A = this chain, B = another copy of it.
Amino acid sequence: MPKLWNDTITAHRQAVRDALLDTTASLVAENGLASVTMTQIAEQAGIGRATLYKYFPDVESIMRAWHERRVGGHLQQMAEIVERGGSVEQRLEKVLGTYAMIDHEHHHGELVAVLHQGGHVGHAQAHLQELVRALLVEGAEAGVVRSDVPADELARYSLSALSATSSLRSKAAVRRLVTVTLSGLRAQTDG
């Protein structure tokens, strides 16, 4: 087969896959994970059940793929903030603020345990940790981030501190948490 044809097949498969993730995610959001079936998904997506099973073995695996795609999107979003320029302080504030808001908005409900079963969450966490670490190194060199603590430890501190968002009720509280977390990172002038 010519290369162009292969590319077309790959693009087609990707488009079907994306549509299946979207369809399943909205069915699950409406009805809850437990009540959505593969038959419903096939019907809603307008493909045969046999075709659906060529893509995914069950509803949970579709939801994990959907979550993986979303987590990937969030990481991409944060990497873009880091690269976009602006002062290191602004970028740090933006990255941590974005992370905190995502964490706050998405970490609710029964789905979390299922979605986090894949290894992708661990990988994303490691990737994010590295992204924040690099930014902190840059900040320490610029004299705005404390240099008495290794950047690796400061990155762990930041992500742990921000995990408190899951227990906060308002966006204002999330913003305050980001402010407090950033205070801990700042270059210290006192003894």
Q: Which residues of A contact B (CB under 8 A)?
A: 146, 148-150, 153-154, 156-157, 159-164, 167-168, 173, 176-177, 179-186, 188
Contact = CB atoms under 8 A, between A and B. Distances in A.
B181 A183 contact: no
Contact of A177 (B153, B182, B185, B188): B153
B188 A183 contact: yes
Contacts of A163: 160, 163
Contacts of A150: 173, 176
A164 B125 CA distance: 13
17 contacts: A148-B176, A148-B179, A149-B179, A153-B164, A153-B177, A156-B164, A156-B168, A156-B177, A157-B161, A157-B177, A160-B160, A160-B162, A160-B163, A161-B161, A182-B184, A183-B186, A184-B184
A185 B177 CA distance: 11
Nearest to A176: B149
A34 B159 CA distance: 34
Nearest to A155: B164
Given A180-B184, A183-B184, A184-B181, A157 B164 contact: yes
Nearest to A175: B149
Nearest to A161: B161
A180 B161 CA distance: 11
Contacts of A185: 180
A183 B179 CA distance: 12
Contacts of A154: 180
A181 to B, nearest CB: 6
Contacts of A146: 180, 183
A33 B168 CA distance: 36
